[in-house]
Amino acid sequence: MTGMNKIFEEYEKRRKKIVEMGGSKAVEKQKSRGKMTARERIEYFFDSDTFMERWPFMKHRTTAFSLDKRDIPAEGVVTGYGKVDGRYIAVAAEDYTSLAGTFGEGHGKKFSWALDFAKENRMPFVGMNDSGGARLQEGMDTLEAYGWCFRSQILASGIIPQIALLMGPCLGGQAYHPIMQDFLIQCKNTGFMGIAGPAFVKTQVGEEISLEELSGYRAHAVKSGQTHVVVENDEEALDRARELLSFFPSNNGQKPPRIKTEDNPERVVLDLESLVPVDPHKAYDMHEIIAKIIDDGYFFETLGLYARNIITGFARFNGRPAGIVANQPSWLAGCIDIDAADKAARFIRFCDLFNIPLISLQDCPGYRIGSEADWNGMLRHGAKLLYAWADATVPLISILMRKSYAGAHYGMLDKSIGADFVFAWPNARVTIVGASTAASVIFAKEIRDAQNPEEIKAKRVKEYEELYENPYRGAERGYIDDIILPRETRKYINRALDLLADKEVTRPWRKYSNINL
Amino acid sequence: MVALESPMPGRIIRINVKVGDSVNENDVIAVMEAMKMEMDLLAPASGIIKELNMSENQAITKSGVVLAVIE
């Protein structure tokens, strides 16, 4: 027995060392930066007593630079599985207190294996990034290990949802890890991400810029469109990640979890009729419309600070998760520009991958035009939206609230591109182009030759407007399933979702579509 | 010094301030029309209008054009 006790004692000692991470001093430093430790994050994140760690004893094998003399508990990343709302989630939480959570062979192996296991066993993966970057001492071993991680996550993409929590630095090639996940949540004061940090930028390209400005939340939530959600601190990041997961199935073979709601699915929303101005030139805040029609006004917006002319996010209808894509008339006229097309297309594809129905709320003057837009590739970026809708096989419901012109008619989902249901409000203007443009093309000669060109133009505009700028022509052809009162919108969406609950689409095999990336 | 830049190409249809006026952040400095929509151009910060580089009915052909400077 004493022999066994000794063995156990040694085991306990070793495990204790791992659990203590980088030691009390390093842990204190971590906390003084307002951050939780990797293990605290895991404990906070998962349902109580559900976490099972894996590979805690992993150790690198480099002897260079006396690295073998250094203790790096758990190789600077805690990996394993735990439950969120009763469902298993795989996690890799980087531990900055252990050699700055640097990424080497063992660290990368753990990431990659955690991802592979999550894929094979069909559970979401959550990465908690907090790392000083590449462990340079390991040279080639570090270089190769990044590739394992990237390949694993890419091969898991579309099979399991993946969420990145940027809670500390993640600079250099390593930043491809969070960016290639489905959603990225960034902590305001502690999360930094970029292809290179300020020191490298200064020596290589001579640019002097602070870490906050180069890699902070403004850089990615506002400018680059890579951070979906900004949070104040670690707790909020973990809370938001749990919330986000509640909209998703565990994998692409399941439907998203439906919850019970007290919100009447047929609730009449009278306010809608005063919130949207009749004058098509006047703007309003689409968020107000969204809040009125979804369950309990609860909307989880993604990329809310980027390409604000289009709104994307998750909500529930009669307890069913759904993705919302909506124009925002109060930002850049609500037009679809390059950034808006990118933002919405990736969102649509995520929803389609994970069986989440999509609702489009249309009030869009069109794709953005002009040399700026065209020379930057408006067409190829705009095409992403068309691909995303046409390729999607989930329930697709489109509400034409006001303007639905030209390319935006398809870009925001119409019948021809694949909508299952299209409902228009009576004030909708659904046609190939706005009346004034149409009239000035069709009647160009008549207007030019007229004694009173302005008068003739106004007359012709009115004529075109009365003939085509309404929902009736589309409804007559069957392209609009019905014209409904704005107040009935929630009811119609819920009935359509009921009807489409078992929608199935079978298409000829192909590797994938050649979307304009 | 903070600049109000054109968010996109468009036409200025209304200007609500003149040089020397004091404004609060998010006041509507001017209204632009683009893509058949009116959009409010909001003061990016509180302060005094130092420069005004636009006039009513003027077409702004690019985004990023400095329309006003607030100090």
C-alpha R_g of chain B? 11
- Is residue A201 very low, low, confident or very high in pLDDT (cuts 50, 70, 90)? very high
Question: A with B: how many residue pairs have Cβ under 8 Å apart?
Answer: 46
* pLDDT score for A438: 87
DSSP code of residue A419: -
Helices in A246-396 by DSSP H: which ranges? 272-275, 286-293, 338-353, 371-375, 378-391
The verdict on whether A173 is a catalytic residue reads: yes
Q: Give buried/exposed letters for A128-162 (b at 16+ CB in 10 A, else e).
A: bbbbbbbbebbeebbeebbebbbebbeebbbbbbb
Geometric angle at alpha carbon A384, from A379 and A385, rounded to 5° = 100
Q: Are A186 and A212 in contact (CB under 8 A)?
A: no
Continuous segment of H or E residues that includes residue A453? helix A453-468
Residue A268 has pLDDT above 70, yes or no: yes
Summarize pLDDT for A275-290 with one digit per residue, the tens: 999 898 999 999 999 9
Q: Which residue has the higher pLDDT, A438 or A489?
A: A489
Amino acid code (one letter) for A196: A
Q: Are A99 and A135 in contact (CB under 8 A)?
A: yes
Tokens of A205: 């390209």
Residue A71 has pLDDT above 70, yes or no: yes
For an interface test with A, which of B6, B33, B35, B65 has the most A Cβ atoms less than 10 Å from its Cβ?
B35
Structural domains in chain A, CATH included, are 2-245 (3.90.226.10), 272-430+470-499 (3.90.226.10), 435-468 (no CATH)
Which residues of chain A neighbour B8 with C-beta distances below 8 Å? 332-333, 335, 337, 368, 372
The verdict on whether A323 is a catalytic residue reads: no
Closest CA to A98 of A34, A38, A172, A33: A38
Q: Are A314 and A246 in contact (CB under 8 A)?
A: no
Summarize pLDDT for A94-107 with one digit per residue, the tens: 999 999 999 999 99
Q: Which of A172, A194, A216, A434 is catalytic?
A: A172
| Domain range annotation of chain B | 2-70
Helices in A252-370 by DSSP H: which ranges? 272-275, 286-293, 338-353
* pLDDT score for A65: 92
The verdict on whether A216 is a catalytic residue reads: no
The verdict on whether A175 is a catalytic residue reads: no
Q: Are A221 and A185 in contact (CB under 8 A)?
A: no
Per mean pLDDT, which range of A23-27, A61-65, A298-302, A435-439 is the poorest? A435-439
**B38 interfaces chain A, CB cutoff of 8 Å:** yes
End-to-end CA distance of chain A: 65
Residues contacting residue B1 through CB under 8 Å, at least 6 positions apart? B50, B69, B70, B71
**A213 interfaces chain B, CB cutoff of 8 Å:** no
**A278 interfaces chain B, CB cutoff of 8 Å:** no
Q: In terms of CA atoms, which chain B residue is nearest residue A337? A: B8
For an interface test with B, which of A368, A376, A432, A469 has the most B Cβ atoms less than 10 Å from its Cβ?
A368
Q: Kindly report the nearest CA distance between residue B54 and chain A, in angstroms.
A: 18
Give me the percent of chain A exceeding a pLDDT of 90: 91
Q: Kindly report the nearest CA distance between residue B71 and chain A, in angstroms.
A: 22
Tell me what ipTM this predicted complex has.
Answer: 0.85
User: Can you list the positions of beta strands (E) in A33-95?
Assistant: 52-54, 77-84, 87-94
Q: Which of A344, A408, A424, A496 is catalytic?
A: A408
Q: Are A417 and A390 in contact (CB under 8 A)?
A: yes
Contact A333 B36 (CB under 8 A): yes
Write down the CATH number for the domain with range B2-70.
2.40.50.100
Summarize pLDDT for B19-70 with one digit per residue, the tens: 999 999 999 999 999 988 899 999 999 999 999 999 999 999 999 999 999 9
DSSP code of residue A99: G
Per-residue three-class SS string for A422-450: EEECCCCEEECCCHHHHHHHHCHHHHHHC
- Is residue A1 very low, low, confident or very high in pLDDT (cuts 50, 70, 90)? low
Q: Rounded distance, CA A314 to CA A300, Å?
A: 5
Which residues of chain A neighbour B7 with C-beta distances below 8 Å? 332
Summarize pLDDT for A335-372 with one digit per residue, the tens: 999 999 999 999 999 999 999 999 999 999 999 999 99
Q: Kindly report the nearest CA distance between residue B61 and chain A, in angstroms.
A: 9
Closest CA to B11 of B69, B55, B68: B55
Q: In terms of CA atoms, which chain B residue is nearest residue A435? A: B36
Residue A23 has pLDDT above 90, yes or no: yes
Residues contacting residue A124 through CB under 8 Å, at least 6 positions apart? A89, A90, A118, A160, A161, A162, A163, A245, A248, A250, A251
Contact B39 A281 (CB under 8 A): no
